[in-house]
Amino acid sequence: EALVHLDLSVNNLTGKIPSSLFMLKNLSIVFLYRNQLSGEIPRVVEALNIDVIDLSDNKLTGSIPDDFGRLRNMTGLSLFFNQLSGKIPDSIGRLPSLRVLKVFSNNLSGTLPPDFGRYSTLVEFQVADNKLEGELPKHLCDNGRLVGVVAFNNNLTGELPKSLGNCNGLMFVNVYNNWISGDIPSGLWTLLNLRVLILSDNSFTDELPQRVARNLSRLEINNNFFSGTIPAGVSSWRNLVVFEASNNLFTGTIPRELTSLPNLTTLFLDQNRLSGSLPPDIISWKTLNTLNFCRNKISGPIPEKLGNLAGLTELDLSENQLSGQIPLQLGLLKLTLLNLSSNHLTGRIPTQFENDAYASSFLNNLALCSNKPSLNINSCNNSDHRKPRKVPSKYLPLIISFVAAALLSVVVAMICIYRKGKHGFDSTWKFTTFQRVNFKESDILSGFTEYNVIGSGGSGKVYRVVVNDSSNFVAVKRIGNNRKPKQMLEKEFHAEVKILGSIRHSNIVKLLCCMSNENSKLLVCEYSENRSLDQWLHRKSRASSTSSSVQHVVLDWPKRLQIAVGAAQGLYFMHHNCSPPIVHRDVKSRRARTPVVNEKIDVYSFGVILLELTTGREARYGDEHTSLAKWAWHYIKDDIPIVDALDEEIKEPSYLEGMSSVFILGIICTNTEPSKRPSMKEVVQILHKCNQPLVYGEKIAARH
């Protein structure tokens, strides 16, 4: 009865929470976080003097007790990283003392209590990674003390609360992957203390302001409907480190002022409608390591000054209208990713790029050449191929006859094709779009050759097809198999269309359109050039900038962890946010970016990727009787130090703890018993703990 403060956190406690715990009337503090507790939270609560409850990071199920809404003295409630379901009781939203609410990473559903922030001085509001619906409470910052709003990975709709625009203490807003729409509340952009604003994967419609918060370091607005131009006032965004604005509706040119940001490390403006030339001068991009302007309408030359950015490791300018030669200075950079495909570049590529690591970096530039056949572009060897040669007159009759015969053959072939189309196979195509497209069905049909096949599966082949006058690529899956009945093919096609057409997630490729006729079914998806983890993890060679020798290009651990988190989020979305759950069934490092069987199949495959990322070894590592997964299991079975298994090329002391944790996670995911493998939701949670603290706006280890 006299117990006031109970702290049994960070142990290995199992079983249920005793029902009598919350009957202790003097109880004030309950810390049971980071254990293995299961079952439901006791429903009856008589300890009405409780100040803080922290039951996070356990395996609790059931719903949040209604009696928690009676705890008028409670200032903090932390239930994150559990398996709680049901609705958040409305009475909790009316608690007068509540300052901190952390219930992220559960299975909570329904709408949020509308009174959050109305009766209490709310400071932290973290409800991310659930299945919540409706709008964010409009009173969230009525008292002006709110520091953070974290609500990503839900099904929230409506607009951002207007009260956020006057929330002077607000430091971070993270609401990506919802259905929130409208403009950003007036005043939010310029809040004095705002540091992180993540709005990606929603339906916002607004323009960028001339000024933003002085302390803003991270701005992510990918996959929305922002429009207008990049303002010249961007030069005042001095503390910005990450700026991601992919797949919006921005127009105009890229202003020179954008190059003046001294702390910028990451810049994504791909998949917009930007035009004009790139700024020839770069004022201050000393820390920039990732630059992506692909899929715009940018013209003119590639600036030579890009070669002076010593820290640049990823450069994607593909699918634009760039012209001229590739600056030799780019060869001085240590690029792990380079994509200049689908432009109008000319001349010879720099010798530093003439190796297999850049096999997909220069495709579809008809006037580029190289002496490396594996680069799949024209050869420069024939030095006099541009000089016209006079044909001896005695050969003219023979040549004329040959040309005439060839023309006749073409005419006959066209007639045959016409008749074939008229009588059956390719007569009428139904063309259904799901995104904005700038190509015709004839562009797709012309690309069905064996040369363009990039993959195949049980239901058909996948083609890489050039569209839009050789300036873009798409991936086309042709569903067709002579061994399958027509009804089964029809069912497979409609199943995939229904699945892909409904998915909105930045880590899953978009379905652009579909085409069908009586005999063929086509799925046309976005094509991600040069995004193969397999290529950069296992074929990591690059010519030296000072000689023709070959040196290794290595993905460091932060980049590998970022890849793991992105892929895991995509699989988590398919498993837990789609109804019914979608199983990929073919997760490989060659496809890392991207009908209903057990989801644990994907978990195993993803576990293999984690082992590849941590060890640097290929999935088939070992002899004919073993594999990477079996090899890794021996480190646990035989009690061998895990550090011995990690990739020597990135094994820095500061990374060892994180790498070891991910290696162990890979082993758990590849358990031979599917029931013992974690869910993708649990995988994402563990990876987030290894990742940077900004995911939830704080370090997971931090407590009240």
Residue 611, amino acid:
L
Cα-based distances in Å from 76 to 106, 448, 560: 17, 60, 35
Give me the catalytic one of 586, 623, 644, 647.
586
Place of tokens 């998949």: 271
If you count them, how many residues does the chain have? 704
CA dihedral for 157, 158, 164, 165, sign (positive or negative): positive
Q: Who's near 689: CB < 8 A, 6+ residues apart? A: 661, 700
Residue 102, amino acid:
K
Angstrom distance (rounded) from CA 182 to CA 150: 19
Cα-based distances in Å from 641 to 563, 633, 634, 638, 663: 25, 12, 10, 9, 12
Q: Is the distance from CB of 613 to CB of 632 less than 8 angstroms?
A: no
Angstrom distance (rounded) from CA 173 to CA 170: 8
Q: What is the dihedral of CA 449, 455, 461, 466, to 10 degrees?
A: -40
Q: Is 477 annotated as a binding residue?
A: yes
DSSP H or E run through 316: strand 314-316
Strands 85-86 and 107-111: parallel
Angstrom distance (rounded) from CA 675 to CA 14: 19
**356 is an active site residue:** no
What are the two backbone dihedrals, phi and then psi, of residue 487, each rounded to the nearest 5 degrees? Answer: -65, -35
**Closest alpha carbon to 358 in 506, 150, 536:** 536
Residue 380, amino acid:
C
Q: Is the distance from CB of 125 to CB of 146 less than 8 angstroms?
A: yes
Token code pair at residue 271:
């998949």
Angstrom distance (rounded) from CA 241 to CA 483: 54
Q: What is the dihedral of CA 313, 314, 318, 324, to 10 degrees?
A: -20
Longest dimension (CA), the chain: 114
State the DSSP string of 431-442. Answer: EEESS-----HH
Binding-site residue positions:
477
Residue numbers annotated as active site: 586
Binding-site residue positions for ATP:
477
